[in-house]
Structure 1
Amino acid sequence: MPASPSTARAINDRFALRLLQDEGPLTATQLKTLTGLSRPTVADLVERLQGSGLVKVVGESGEQRRGPNAKLYGIVADRAHLAALDVRTGGVSVVVADLLGTTLAEAALPIGGGTATEGAVEQAVALLERTTKEAGVERLHSVGVGAPGLIDPATGQLNDSSGLPAWHRRLVPALQERLPATVLVENETNLAAVAEQRLGAARDCDTFVLLWLGQGVGAAVVLDGRLRRGASGGAGEIGFLPVPGTSGLPSATGCDGGFHELVCAAAVDALAVRHGLAPGAALASGDGPFLDALAERLAVGAAAVVSVLDPGCVVLAGETGHAGGAALAARVEERLAALSPLRTEVRATALGDTAVLRGALLAARDAAQDALFPAAG
């Protein structure tokens, strides 16, 4: 069934706004070319977006002939203000930005493991409030939160996970209680994949898998341009994947014996020591034998994912993927080619430590965009 006129208008408006966000100010002619819409349709959507207060004329193009097509249209950056939080086991990072994603202020705060739950929550909320004030922002429209753990697809809340601080679960409800803003929470690995797809290493990929390699191990699955979360929000929990060379089999309550045991941060450090290298610095050293050994381990888990999903591209992210860079990615790709007949390119993260924050900011920006758009019809 074809879309109704109002639905078609809403789809066109969202597409045009995404182009203006990603490509910068554009003329009506450029919007016509990029959207494939007719000139009258583009003129109508530009008028709607201007009327909504989301778009304005920000200048003129270099065209010699002056007229409507020479005007440059751009996002009204201060139409809404956004925030993103990257919640980790040992602390939280915050960024406050405008609707274009331009950073206005940022901060980070370590939170010790011995901190009481309510005290940790208060510190994190206060950090966001303080950073918002430093940015000169009176009110946040949307806040995106990236955190380890599973997100319940039914409730949108962070599920309880063993090994994670209790304050993680309390933080989002506290933000929702304290802030007159939309607060969204998503798994950190999923947000990193969104950021890599729109801004980083996977910009040219509709289908790929991101492997998150840090203290925890996980994956994000993007198929046909869409992030796939699974029935319970657990798609990509490859830390529990049983693999040879581990202590046994993982269980429902722990991933000892799974892929996690081979490639988590502690395992990488132990492997470095066995190669006579300092933990934490081995990846940066470029030591060939160490990188070869780590690549062998990573390829085992990657091969299992590739054999099921055939993503065509795997992005190595998290602290290990970032530190290992192109040298590690090339080695994993070589070993993966020997394990699987499915051709798969392996790339290093392009966003590094900023991937989760950028993904959370994109989530906040998308939420603001949907809320601020004129209603269809």
Structure 2
Amino acid sequence: MTTARTATPSTARAINDRLALNLLLEQGPLTATELRDLTGLSRPTVADLLDRLQRTGLVAVVGERGEQRRGPNARLYALVASRAHIAAFDVREGGVSLVVADLAGRSLATAEVPVEASAEASGVGAADAGVAERIVRTLLETARGAGVEQLHTVAVGAPGLVDPATGRLHSTGKLPGWHAELLTALRELPGTDVILENEVNLAGRAEYRVGAARDRDTFVLMWLGHSVGAAVILDGRLRRGFSGGTGEICFLPVPGTVGLPSADSCEGGFHGLVGSAAICALARSHGLSADPAGDASAAEAAVRTALAAGAAGEAFLDELAERIALGAAALCVVLDPGCVVLGGEIGRAGGAELAGRVERRLAGFSPLRTEVRAGTAGGGAVLAGAVLTAGDAVRRDLFGEP
């Protein structure tokens, strides 16, 4: 027979503090009365926790709210969002996007740092180190321009496998050497924690928390951009797999490709059907204009053109939907997520129209009922997920969350 454990006074205080802080984060300034109503805590307990949180600098009085009664107005208490600051990175082959934000996740400043192809290298060398230094310098200048002198946590979204055991980035293709150098340089920033995560996993978190899957605890995000990847969230938890490779569906063998994928290349895998170059080639085969460069922007433009192109566009969209459904079917018969969200440049461009076509085609491949939705976290989904991830880490530190 087991007996219930009684929380110690210090544990109870920590739980109450976290509850109040999260409410202030989610709902904004509240009065003590409102906190009592929302938490169910007693008047003395709320008064004690507000006093304690003000002494730690996490909560401050920001004004008053008139009550429908005689007497003084009620004080408004708010989370001090400037108590800690974070940064988020979306790292691509051609450069980075970054944002500096406060504890509440509000963006304070953004920057873009393009990296010319001539500056990229296949290995780590002086050129790579120079690129990394320039990016870190831009980060610090951007932060200082927003009045931020110290960053508590930086979250980085990058392509490749992130080993759950070591936190190291392993390339599944030919990534520039400056990616590794950038991570090294960021980890040398004094007093700053660095979190590395696969960029599609971060986009999945954004769709889960603020996007198309807010009402789902189990779903798969299919990221359709330059290449294709997936983020798998089951029962509210992001799944990475043994080596961090969950969702690397660009390597998935599927019918219709020119060959088979290898350990060094995904060209013969699902990537060969729905990567941006393949989508541009498909558009041209249907008589639609598509940039031969075949990058993600060109593929996005081709999809948008197809949506307004009449019969030729209809045929292209049907074939593209069938290709996407092939990969989605493989995920669904193994995981049965019940919901697939289409993200990335192609998912964003296709919207509900492409999602509906994929859903109908998928229904013919599998007996498992699966809803297909267009992602709503937008083009900044990776950055949004990185901000959420960094913010969660800060709150665990400052709020004492488990």
Q: Normalised by the size of structure 1, how large is the TM-score?
A: 0.91
Amino acid at match of 2:27: E
Which residue of the partner structure matches residue 290 of structure 1? 316
Which residue of the partner structure matches residue 121 of structure 1? 132
1:352 match: secondary structure: coil
Amino acid at match of 2:368: L
Q: How far does the alpha carbon of each residue in 1:124-181 deviate from its partner, in whole angstroms, 9 at most, with x for none? A: 1122112112212111111111111111111212124431111111211111113431
Tell me, yes or no, if the aligned pair for 2:21 and 2:399 is still in contact at 8 Å: no
Q: More deviation in 246-255 or 104-113?
A: 246-255
Amino acid at match of 1:125: V
User: What is the alpha-carbon distance in structure 2 between the residues aligned to residue 3 and residue 214 of structure 1?
Assistant: 52
Tell me, yes or no, if the aligned pair for 1:52 and 1:372 is still in contact at 8 Å: no
Which residue of the partner structure matches residue 170 of structure 1? 181
Cα 1:266/1:79, change in 2 over 3 Å: same
Which residue of the partner structure matches residue 315 of structure 1? 341
Amino acid at match of 1:302: A
2:246 match: secondary structure: coil
Task: Find out whether 1:141 has 2:157 as its counterpart.
Answer: no
Task: Find out whether 1:14 has 2:14 as its counterpart.
Answer: no
Tell me, yes or no, if the aligned pair for 2:159 and 2:199 is still in contact at 8 Å: yes
Q: More deviation in 40-49 or 242-251?
A: 40-49
Cα 1:67/1:97, change in 2 over 3 Å: farther
Cα 1:187/1:352, change in 2 over 3 Å: same
Q: More deviation in 49-58 or 143-152?
A: 49-58
The alpha-carbon deviation at position 71 of structure 1 amounts to: 4.0
Amino acid at match of 2:303: L
User: What is the alpha-carbon distance in structure 2 between the residues aligned to residue 126 and residue 252 of structure 1?
Assistant: 36
Which residue of the partner structure matches residue 305 of structure 1? 331
Q: More deviation in 59-68 or 83-92?
A: 59-68
Tell me, yes or no, if the aligned pair for 1:113 and 1:165 is still in contact at 8 Å: no
Q: How far does the alpha carbon of each residue in 1:287-341 deviate from its partner, in whole angstroms, 9 at most, with x for none? A: 3221111111111111111111111211111111111111111111111122222
Task: Find out whether 1:50 has 2:36 as its counterpart.
Answer: no
Which residue of the partner structure matches residue 194 of structure 2? 183
User: What is the alpha-carbon distance in structure 2 between the residues aligned to residue 350 and residue 130 of structure 1?
Assistant: 31
Which residue of the partner structure matches residue 72 of structure 1? 76
Task: Find out whether 1:242 has 2:268 as its counterpart.
Answer: no
Tell me, yes or no, if the aligned pair for 2:172 and 2:264 is still in contact at 8 Å: no
Tell me, yes or no, if the aligned pair for 2:172 and 2:265 is still in contact at 8 Å: no
User: What is the alpha-carbon distance in structure 2 between the residues aligned to residue 353 and residue 139 of structure 1?
Assistant: 28
Which residue of the partner structure matches residue 100 of structure 1? 104
RMSD of aligned Cα (Å): 2.4
Tell me, yes or no, if the aligned pair for 2:252 and 2:269 is still in contact at 8 Å: yes
The alpha-carbon deviation at position 245 of structure 1 amounts to: 1.1
Task: Trace 1:178-217 onto structure 2 (pairs within 5 A).
Answer: 178-217=189-228
The alpha-carbon deviation at position 106 of structure 1 amounts to: 0.8
Which residue of the partner structure matches residue 327 of structure 1? 353
Task: Find out whether 1:354 has 2:358 as its counterpart.
Answer: no
Cα 1:59/1:124, change in 2 over 3 Å: same
Cα 1:327/1:375, change in 2 over 3 Å: closer
Q: More deviation in 320-329 or 17-26?
A: 17-26
Amino acid at match of 2:274: V
The alpha-carbon deviation at position 59 of structure 1 amounts to: 3.2
1:131 match: secondary structure: helix
Which of 1 and 2 has higher RCO (CA within 8 Å, sep 6+)?
1
Tell me, yes or no, if the aligned pair for 1:149 and 1:161 is still in contact at 8 Å: yes
2:118 match: secondary structure: coil
Q: More deviation in 131-140 or 154-163?
A: 154-163
The correspondence for 1:273, drawn from 284, 300, 313, is 284
Indicate the percent of aligned positions where both proteins have the same amino acid. 63
Q: More deviation in 228-237 or 67-76?
A: 67-76
Amino acid at match of 1:231: F
Tell me, yes or no, if the aligned pair for 1:317 and 1:349 is still in contact at 8 Å: yes
The alpha-carbon deviation at position 56 of structure 1 amounts to: 2.3
Tell me, yes or no, if the aligned pair for 1:243 and 1:300 is still in contact at 8 Å: yes
Tell me, yes or no, if the aligned pair for 1:159 and 1:169 is still in contact at 8 Å: no
Structure index of larger Rg? 2
Tell me, yes or no, if the aligned pair for 1:26 and 1:73 is still in contact at 8 Å: yes
Which residue of the partner structure matches residue 114 of structure 2? 110
Amino acid at match of 2:101: A
Tell me, yes or no, if the aligned pair for 1:52 and 1:373 is still in contact at 8 Å: no
Tell me, yes or no, if the aligned pair for 1:27 and 1:69 is still in contact at 8 Å: no
1:126 match: secondary structure: helix
